[in-house]
Amino acid sequence: MDIYMHILQMSLSASILIIFVAILRKFPTYYMSKHIVLIIWKIAFFRLLIPFTTSFNFLNITPVKESNIIIEVFTRAYVKNIPITNSNTANTINKNALHLTMPTSDYINPLFLIWIIGICISLLYFFISYIKISTIIKEALPIQDNDFTSEWLKKQNIKRTISIVTSDRISTPITFGIIRPKIVIPLNMNYQNKEQFSYVLTHELVHIEGFDAIWKVVSILTLCIHWFNPLVWMMYNLFNRDVEIACDEKVISIVGENQKSDYAMTLIHLAEQKSDFNGLYNSFAKNPIKERIVNIMKYKKIKCLVLELD
């Protein structure tokens, strides 16, 4: 049960950081890049997943490990039902209390059991979603007219193996996978619009180069462990929004600020469709569209250390 109390302590103390970041992300893009916000979100993830000790104890919650029962023996002590007859031993026990350590109880704490059940249900939900989307990816087919995509991939100087496929079972472009990522394009997408197609591919490539899929897994793991904390649910949703907004910022910095209106129109065109596999992949048209459009149109390139390193 101490692990549950420790997780609770971590969750409560991290809640302060979550509230801070939720307020910080309200700053306009030209004051605070979403790349900076993402870095702080990632610090919050580490705080929620990696235990460390601190002198500060939130709400004075102390994990209960065991009960230390002090038994003072005055004249005769029995250890394992064997009487102590030696006078020297008896005198020693008379002067010093005998410390025995006993477990607190043999029953399982109901809160601990509920927490474990919550983790199992959360993991099961995401696992089922993973199986569904994996099936779709396996059934996806290479794009027939792949001259443009082949040429586009050559220009990017990509170090990892990336596949561009198409599927009639999705309605918006997505990226799935970590080691060998795949960009999946809807079958009904207009491939003849090379400009729009290039925006989509660039957006998905930014996700791949930023290893956003790994952070998706980290965010899901954090949510499953801290499912009881509503602020962690808020963090999960805001983090996914900020991943997409930060990706939009990066794309605009690549294609140029003079093309942000065209990029925004592409986003609007593809954002009408929704998906049932939230959290398991990176999507061009995912998350609240209004916030992304506003950030795109207000975007101004920020000269800062974080963007230079990125």
Q: Which residues pair with 182 in a beta bridge?
A: 163, 176
Shared-domain flag, residues 289 and 142: yes
Strand order in the sheet with 182-186: 141-142, 163-167, 182-186, 174-176, 282-283
Shared-domain flag, residues 95 and 162: no
Span 196-234, pLDDT tens digits: 899 999 999 999 999 999 999 999 999 999 999 999 999
Note the pLDDT of residue 302.
53
Q: Which residues of 61-100 are buried (b: 16+ CB within 10 A; e: fewer)?
A: eeeeeeeeeeeebeeebeeeeeebeeeeebeebeeeeeee
Residue holding tokens 């350590």?
Answer: 101
Residue 145 lies in a domain: yes
Residue 108 lies in a domain: no
Note the pLDDT of residue 33.
79
Shared-domain flag, residues 170 and 88: no
For residues 162 and 153, the answer to whether their CB atoms sit within 8 Å is yes
The torsion of the CA quartet 101, 107, 110, 116, rounded to 10 degrees, works out to 80
Domain enclosing residue 232, as ranges: 126-309
Shared-domain flag, residues 236 and 95: no
- Structural domain total, the chain: 2
Residue 48 lies in a domain: no
What is the Cα–Cα distance from 219 to 239, expressed in whole angstroms? Answer: 8
Residue 144 lies in a domain: yes
Note the pLDDT of residue 70.
37
Percent of the chain with pLDDT over 70: 71
Shared-domain flag, residues 202 and 300: yes
Shared-domain flag, residues 79 and 144: no
Note the pLDDT of residue 56.
44
Shared-domain flag, residues 89 and 205: no
Shared-domain flag, residues 89 and 181: no
- Torsions phi, psi of 194, nearest 5? -65, -35
Residue 184 lies in a domain: yes
Note the pLDDT of residue 86.
53
Residue 42 lies in a domain: no
230-255 and 34-49 helices cross at what angle (nearest 10)? 150
Shared-domain flag, residues 145 and 250: yes
Residue 115 lies in a domain: no
Shared-domain flag, residues 97 and 131: no
Shared-domain flag, residues 297 and 222: yes
Average pLDDT of the chain is 78
Shared-domain flag, residues 286 and 205: yes
Mean pLDDT by 10 residues, the chain (310 residues): 82 94 80 85 94 51 42 42 50 47 58 93 95 91 79 83 90 88 88 87 93 94 96 95 92 89 85 56 61 79 46
Residue 76 lies in a domain: yes
Note the pLDDT of residue 159.
79
For the chain, the straight-line distance linking the first and the last C-alpha, in angstroms and rounded, comes to 42
